[in-house]
Structure 1
Amino acid sequence: MMKPHAFAICAYRDSPYLESCIRSIMTQSTESDVILCTSTPSSYISGLADKYGISLFIRHEKSNIRDDWNFAYYMADAVFVTIAHQDDLYQKDYVKKLLDCYRMYPDMTLFTGGYTVLKKDRPSVLEPVELIKRILRLPLRLRSISHLSWVKKSALLFGNSICCPACAYNKEQLGEPLFTSPYHFALDWDTLFKLSKLPGRFICVERPLLSYRVHEAAATKAAIEDNSRLKEETEMFRKMWPEPVVKVLMHFYRKAYHEYE
């Protein structure tokens, strides 16, 4: 029998933040299954798996964000799967809130919540960008209609307002593979846009359930520097809007990049 929920932690190389992520997951107020997955095995990663009694699964192929995520999703044996990013911290009631929502809305295919940004030089705070994203997520708080495709899409039309590591996917209803997008940076946004067209309800608990860490080695920062973020986000807007609107949206959307400076 599938367990209600599982965290599938994706470990990449020897992140100094991995153990903090594991601790935040192991101290949840509601018990959850936990697995650790990697395509860059090391004694550091296996040592942490042993220390916390977590099953470790190794993908013996070249690292690729889409394939790594799909592998972690596949290895998790649960109704809901959260692809946990190794740099982030989960609030203790994350799983509790998720399962509470699932009991109320059994057609829930996606669960998510708010987040704060964690930077080295200051404690966890609510960034201005996240305040804007809260507004964009407002339609998902209308739970009586959050199963409608246009409601789910509305949270994605002006940018990706949904924080990827805060998401839990209903594996039982969505099946496999989950991530089929060709993108690298906009993989999560493209995936959510695909899921918005499928049956099922998106539920958002509008309170910080995650601390999202920003640091020099973050993949998001690298995507800004090599312009892949700009390219992929522009292409995403083109799927939803005519070109004149895309130019206006990208003008304002690029201002959010300063969050990683």
Structure 2
Amino acid sequence: MITHTFVVLAYKKSRYLESCIQSVLNQEFKSNVVIATSTRNAFIEQLANKYSLKIIDNPNAGKGIGYDFDFARTCVDTDLVTIAHQDDVYDPTYSKEVVNYYWKYKDATLLFTDYFEVRNGKRVYENTNLKIKKIMLKPLHNKEKSNRKFIKRLPLMFGNPICCPAVTFCQNNLNVQTLFANDMKCNIDWSAWEIASKMDGRFVFVNKPLMGHRIHEESTTTEIIEDNNRSKEDYEIFRRFWITPVAKLLTKLYSNSEKSNKV
């Protein structure tokens, strides 16, 4: 019996947290749901009580986003774990799809779906940013070859096309306690995918938009893009794939493309 858990990563008081909780509880495949937080407060406790959810307190409070993500990934004991960001939502078939694909590909390290954006309360399935990411992910359409190191790394060589909250971690095949970079603010997920791409196992891409990533002024992604450290971290990741001149050029191009994340 394959088990799957949504770990809802809650921080302070998000007005979208309840929508996220409702979406993960409303799955056709009934996954486990817990809340992980380093900022326990009355608001989070009220929602946890309303939906009878367990709160797991993160002992690494204040150390950084990387610590928060690794804690959320490892704080439960199930085959599959999805870190649900508090602002985002999931379609009812998300769990069913990832579990079914895990049945087919038991060597998977990461299972992830396509996604749509939620802007001003509306679902956006097509824009320039989403189209580019779809193109970047084409090498992973062939699942029979997606266990090959080059195929897994190819989409990551030009940027980060994998939406972090759309990812389900296959814990049995990820034998690492630390996957997310603790010295980064914005590219912790891209760095994690790069690390995972060098491990044995398969990247399984479910080519269906089954979760919604909310773009708004208060989101962590929007805040980080405005941080001057963004380009520095982009360059650091590109250097894992490319020589210095190419890495510098890609960093400049990538910086321009990420501006579409602004509201």
The residue aligned with 1:97 is 97
The residue aligned with 1:66 is 66
TM (norm. structure 1) is: 0.95
Compared CA separation, residues 30 and 144, structure 1 to 2 (3 A): same
Provide the identity percentage.
36
2:53 is aligned with 1:49:
no
* Separation of aligned partners in 2, 1:200 and 1:257: 29
The residue aligned with 1:109 is 109
The residue aligned with 2:208 is 207
The residue aligned with 2:179 is 179
Q: Deviations over 1:134-155 (max 9, x none)?
A: 1111111111110011110011
* Separation of aligned partners in 2, 1:130 and 1:224: 17
Alignment size in residue pairs: 260
CA contact (8 A) 1:74 1:176 kept: no
CA contact (8 A) 2:17 2:87 kept: yes
Equivalent residues in 2 for 1:1-261 (5 A)? Answer: 4-63=3-62, 64-120=64-120, 122-181=122-181, 182-261=183-262
Give, as a single letter, the amino acid of the residue that structure 2 aligns with 1:253: Y
Quote the offset at 1:159 in angstroms.
0.4
Quote the offset at 1:125 in angstroms.
3.5
Quote the offset at 1:257 in angstroms.
2.5
* Separation of aligned partners in 2, 1:223 and 1:169: 24
Quote the offset at 1:10 in angstroms.
0.5
Q: Which runs of 4+ in 1 moved over 6 A?
A: none
* Separation of aligned partners in 1, 2:136 and 2:100: 23
* Separation of aligned partners in 1, 2:89 and 2:161: 19
Q: Deviations over 1:38-86 (max 9, x none)?
A: 0001011011111111111112443321111122122122101111100
Give, as a single letter, the amino acid of the residue that structure 1 aligns with 2:72: A
Give, as a single letter, the amino acid of the residue that structure 1 aligns with 2:143: R
* Separation of aligned partners in 1, 2:104 and 2:60: 40
CA contact (8 A) 1:109 1:200 kept: yes
* Separation of aligned partners in 2, 1:209 and 1:251: 31
* Separation of aligned partners in 2, 1:6 and 1:178: 19
The unaligned stretches of length 5 or more in structure 1 are none
Quote the offset at 1:16 in angstroms.
0.3
* Separation of aligned partners in 1, 2:123 and 2:180: 35
Q: Which secondary structure does the structure 1 equivalent of 2:79 belong to? A: strand
Quote the offset at 1:120 in angstroms.
1.6
Give, as a single letter, the amino acid of the residue that structure 2 aligns with 1:243: T
* Separation of aligned partners in 2, 1:176 and 1:167: 16
* Separation of aligned partners in 1, 2:70 and 2:193: 14
Q: Deviations over 1:192-227 (max 9, x none)?
A: 101001011100011101110011111112212221
Q: CA RMSD in A?
A: 1.5
TM (norm. structure 2) is: 0.94
* Separation of aligned partners in 1, 2:251 and 2:30: 41
